[in-house]
Amino acid sequence: MVNSSPLKIAVLDLYDGSANMGMDCILEILDNWSNERSVEIQITLFDVRAKNELPGIEFDLYLSSGGPGSPIDTHEAQWDINYCNWLDKMYLIKKPVLLICHSFQLACRHFDIGKVGLRKSKQLGILPIHPTTPHSIFDQLPDPFFALESRLYQITEPNDEKIQSMEAAIIALEKIRPQLPYERALMAVAFNETMIGVQFHPEATKERLINYFNTDKIKAAVLEDFSEDKWDQIMHSLEDDSKIENTCSKFIPNFLNQMLLA
């Protein structure tokens, strides 16, 4: 248990200056957790891509966000090189780190967990996530649980030898699709006992998502890229509190509880 007060939390922003709600959702969840647990926290933001900022080792816990673009094409960019060096350091000293979506993809590429590549088509929706092994991060969540997926890339073809040598574990896979001849993508990996990465967005909150998908621009984009049925399906799923609301109220708080209060 961490005894320092306030608890120092680093939030790494990988959105590269693009408009997003991911950071707002992360900060909202942290604020709610702090109030509910009567725990004082101090949050410091780091703009990883636009300003090449990275935190040191003095923080109690680290949350690294999603973001736009390819997790493959930036491997020679200085911010990407520095970020991967930071991942190595966090892994070795076993600091609590949660990696979301783009951050997860970068970590899987860097640690050679599996093949990082484009999906056959874009994935978007409130979709089922299937735990593959018991893990405390899934406490109070059903099997499957539901979360926002918004991605062009995926991790497949797991490198079992590297996973074993790192003492890592695949802890969740994407939805079951028996009608399609495709390998199921990795949705969550425990790189060690303190570093966890997820392909989905556990930070997404119900009200922010409802407002987001109801904007004219986003609704038009969903209709153009998918269909009206897809938009209706997303909105219906958002109204079901057993799905997105359940996940955002438990997943990241589980991580905070286990890494900071256990």
pLDDT single digits (tens) 70-88: 999 999 999 999 999 999 9
pLDDT of 91-103, one tens digit each? Answer: 999 999 999 999 9
Amino acid at 197: G
* pLDDT score recorded for residue 2: 47
* pLDDT score recorded for residue 117: 95
Q: Between the CA of residue 195 and those of 91, 237, 243, what are the distances in Å?
A: 7, 30, 25
Do strands 169-173 and 186-190 pair parallel, antiparallel, or not at all (unpaired)? antiparallel
* pLDDT score recorded for residue 180: 64
Q: pTM of the prediction?
A: 0.94
* pLDDT score recorded for residue 68: 93
| Among 189, 173, 188, residue whose Cα is nearest residue 128 | 173
Q: Point out the residues of the chain with pLDDT beneath 70.
A: 1-4, 178-181
d(CA 154, CA 102): 10
